[in-house]
């Protein structure tokens, strides 16, 4: 089987390979991917540092052309790359192709942003002096990504980093190196100079840690768990570097008595269970007022009965497998915890067998949960959601905000008054009205509050905040 190498200083290098396993069929090896060492990470950082002066001064047309070419190739290969994504991560083929298209759109957006770099010119408060405010790249950026969006998250970090003139050392999650390798290969062939983008696949505890320990990274952008995020933060403070963290969620979806039942059920089913619930924006707390509670639970349970859990590539599959054995164990442990805590298992809760050996789990719904239970406070990151019954809107809002997290929050209501109040008073970075909590656009800011995020927003033009530093220059006329 061909070994997919790391890219360091413009050369494909590495010998030790790790097997990338398909969670829909654990007998199938998706590919063999090189493992970098801590020394490889240091070499990659040195290469990126050496490449920075020239790339930071490169022409905007060169950056535009490389990012545009990358977008075009990803789009042209969306079916093939989507299939690779579905095989390595386990989301369904339509979801995987959708994510691949989104990656292409992100590269396309930042290809455009490269041509729109602008500053400000202001008069000084002192006579005959002009003030220019410009944005400059910050230097070498370390990019560390999780397994649940194998192509979109690398895209939304790599594209702005390169657009604004930074160089990059990129470490994808060890579980899903395939899509990351593919986009680095595309960018490399699109004409990036040596050392501008380096790929170091391998273990977080080795390669990721070597990145955290390096004094030569000017910034680290990280998406993953809260625990690893805290390590990124403390190491970055130690080295006086910029950092940006996107971490977990325990996202509420409020359903009020006046909700359109179909909208509420479709939103809850989509954001609670699609992509196997493995989205940081998934709704895992369904906060439902008394008047609609029983109707909502009955309709959602009926909907869950219709969802097919099977091989990610099979036509008709709604929910693919859990990503690996460890995550499946986490999910089933939390299902056991929910039962012990006294929540009622209304649907699912069992692992299932399919034609191929894989990590299949039924969509699982708890009812009669309280907001104090561990299943309501801790992120499970699987197809598991709990219904919490509340009296009225005021209790629903208070319950929605009573969480350590603050990424996304939703409300299903036909009341303009409650929708408006919820948008203003939700303590989440993103608020959805009559929509799933998951599913966001690529051209607008993405991010949360509290334990979900730290630092400036990702995506859209707001990405410039992290990937550039502002310079203020005064000139005597
Ligand atoms: P982890 O934090 O375990 O891993 C994220 C990345 O960090 C991986 O590349 C991992 O490498 C790396 N890493 C692990 N240890 C270290 C270390 N000591 N130093 C540097 N890097 C390290 O999270 P998961 O990949 O398991 O992703 C799941 C989590 O991510 C969930 O909690 C989820 O909510 C969150 N997430 C948040 C999102 C958001 O935008 N808010 C989006 C997507 C996910 P390795 O693969 O080798 O372990």
450 Cα to the center of ligand 1, angstroms: 18
As a whole number of angstroms, the distance between CA 225 and CA 345 comes to: 27
Which residue in the list 88, 89, 99, 246 is annotated as catalytic? 246
> Does the CB atom of residue 204 touch ligand 1 within 6 A?
yes
Task: Find the farthest-apart pair of alpha carbons in the chain and give their distance in angstroms, rounded.
Answer: 79
CB 395 within 8 A of CB 408: no
> Does the CB atom of residue 212 touch ligand 1 within 6 A?
yes
Top mutation candidate among 204, 241, 322, 450 for ligand 1, by most atoms within 8 Å of CB: 204
The residue extents of the domains of the chain are: 3-247+452-476, 251-433
Q: Is 239 exposed, middle or buried (0-12, 13-18, 19+ CB in 10 A)?
A: middle
> Does the CB atom of residue 147 touch ligand 1 within 6 A?
yes
CB 201 within 8 A of CB 35: yes
Would you state the pLDDT for residue 469? 98
Tokens representing 112 are: 């455009």
262 Cα to the center of ligand 1, angstroms: 35
> Does the CB atom of residue 386 touch ligand 1 within 6 A?
no
Q: Cα dist. 296→173, 315, 320, 364 in Å? A: 37, 29, 25, 15
Would you state the pLDDT for residue 262? 98
Active site residue 246: yes
> Does the CB atom of residue 174 touch ligand 1 within 6 A?
yes
Instruction: List for the chain the helix, strand, coil content (%; round to 5).
Output: 40, 25, 35
248 Cα to the center of ligand 1, angstroms: 10
Would you state the pLDDT for residue 477? 84
> Does the CB atom of residue 148 touch ligand 1 within 6 A?
yes
C-alpha 60 chain-centroid distance = 28
145 Cα to the center of ligand 1, angstroms: 6
DSSP string across 170-235: EE--TT-HHHHHHHHHHHHHTTPPTTSEEE--S-IIIIIHHHHH-TT-SEEEEES-HHHHHHHHHH
453 Cα to the center of ligand 1, angstroms: 13
CATH 3.40.1010.20 describes domain 3-247+452-476: no
As a whole number of angstroms, the distance between CA 268 and CA 262 comes to: 10
Atom number of ligand 1 nearest to Cα 147:
25
> Does the CB atom of residue 228 touch ligand 1 within 6 A?
yes
CATH 3.40.309.10 describes domain 251-433: yes
> Does the CB atom of residue 380 touch ligand 1 within 6 A?
no
Would you state the pLDDT for residue 431? 98
* Total-model pTM: 0.98
For the chain, give the number of residues. 477
Would you state the pLDDT for residue 120? 97
146 Cα to the center of ligand 1, angstroms: 4
CB 51 within 8 A of CB 196: yes
Would you state the pLDDT for residue 16? 82
Can you state the angle between helices 152-163 and 93-114, rounded to 10 degrees? 10
What is the chain's pLDDT, residue by residue, as a tens digit (477 residues)? 899 999 999 999 998 899 999 999 999 999 999 999 999 999 999 999 999 999 999 999 999 999 999 999 999 999 999 999 999 999 999 999 999 999 999 999 999 999 999 999 999 999 999 999 999 999 999 999 999 999 999 999 999 999 999 999 999 999 999 999 999 999 999 999 999 999 999 999 999 999 999 999 999 999 999 999 999 999 999 999 999 999 999 999 999 999 999 999 999 999 999 999 999 999 999 999 999 999 999 999 999 999 999 999 999 999 999 999 999 999 999 999 999 999 999 999 999 999 999 999 999 999 999 999 999 999 999 999 999 999 999 999 999 999 999 999 999 999 999 999 999 999 999 999 999 999 999 999 999 999 999 999 999 999 999 999 999 999 998
As a whole number of angstroms, the distance between CA 209 and CA 217 comes to: 12
Residue 295 belongs to what H/E stretch?
helix 290-306
């Amino acid at each position: 089987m061909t070994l997919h190498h790391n890219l360091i200083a413009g050369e494909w290098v590495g010998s030790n390979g790790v097997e990338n396993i398909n969670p829909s069929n654990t007998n199938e090896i998706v590919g063999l991917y090189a493992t970098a060492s801590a020394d490889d990470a240091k070499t990659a950082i040195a290469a990126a540092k050496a490449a920075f002066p020239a790339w930071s001064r490169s022409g905007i047309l060169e950056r535009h052309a490389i990012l545009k070419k990358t977008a075009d190739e990803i789009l042209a290969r969306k079916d093939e790359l989507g299939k690779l994504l579905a095989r390595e991560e386990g989301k369904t083929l339509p979801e995987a192709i959708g994510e691949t298209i989104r990656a292409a759109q992100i590269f396309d957006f930042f290809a455009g942003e490269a041509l729109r770099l602008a500053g400000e010119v202001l008069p000084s408060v002192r006579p005959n002096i002009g003030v220019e405010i410009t944005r400059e790249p910050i230097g070498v950026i370390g990019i560390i990504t999780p397994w649940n969006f194998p192509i979109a998250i690398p895209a939304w970090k790599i594209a702005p980093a390169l657009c604004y003139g930074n160089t990059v050392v990129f470490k994808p999650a060890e579980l899903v190196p395939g899509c990351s390798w593919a986009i680095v290969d595309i960018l490399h062939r699109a004409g990036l100079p040596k050392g501008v983008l380096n790929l170091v696949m391998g273990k977080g505890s080795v390669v990721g840690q070597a990145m955290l320990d390096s004094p030569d990274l000017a910034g680290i952008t990280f998406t993953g768990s809260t625990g690893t995020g805290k390590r990124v933060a403390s190491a970055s403070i130690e080295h006086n570097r910029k950092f940006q963290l996107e971490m977990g969620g325990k996202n509420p979806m409020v359903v009020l008595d006046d909700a359109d039942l179909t909208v509420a059920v479709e939103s809850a089913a989509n954001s609670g269970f699609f992509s196997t619930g493995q989205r940081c924006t998934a709704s895992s707390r369904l906060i439902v007022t008394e008047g609609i509670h029983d109707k909502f639970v009955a309709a959602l349970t009926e909907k869950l009965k219709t969802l097919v859990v099977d091989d990610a590539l099979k036509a008709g599959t709604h929910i693919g497998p859990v990503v690996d054995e460890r995550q499946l164990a986490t999910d089933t442990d939390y299902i056991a915890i929910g039962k012990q805590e006294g929540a009622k298992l209304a649907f699912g809760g069992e692992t299932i067998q399919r034609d191929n050996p894989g990590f299949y789990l039924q969509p699982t719904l708890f009812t009669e949960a309280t907001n104090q239970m561990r299943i309501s406070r801790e992120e499970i990151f699987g197809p598991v959601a709990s219904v919490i019954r509340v009296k009225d809107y005021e209790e629903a809002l208070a319950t929605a905000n009573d969480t350590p997290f603050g990424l996304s929050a939703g409300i299903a209501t036909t009341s303009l008054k409650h929708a408006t109040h919820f948008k203003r008073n939700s303590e989440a970075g993103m608020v959805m009205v009559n929509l799933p909590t998951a599913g966001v656009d690529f051209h607008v800011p993405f991010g949360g509050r509290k334990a979900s995020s730290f630092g400036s927003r990702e995506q859209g033009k707001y990405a410039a905040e992290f990937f550039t530093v502002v310079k203020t220059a005064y000139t005597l006329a």
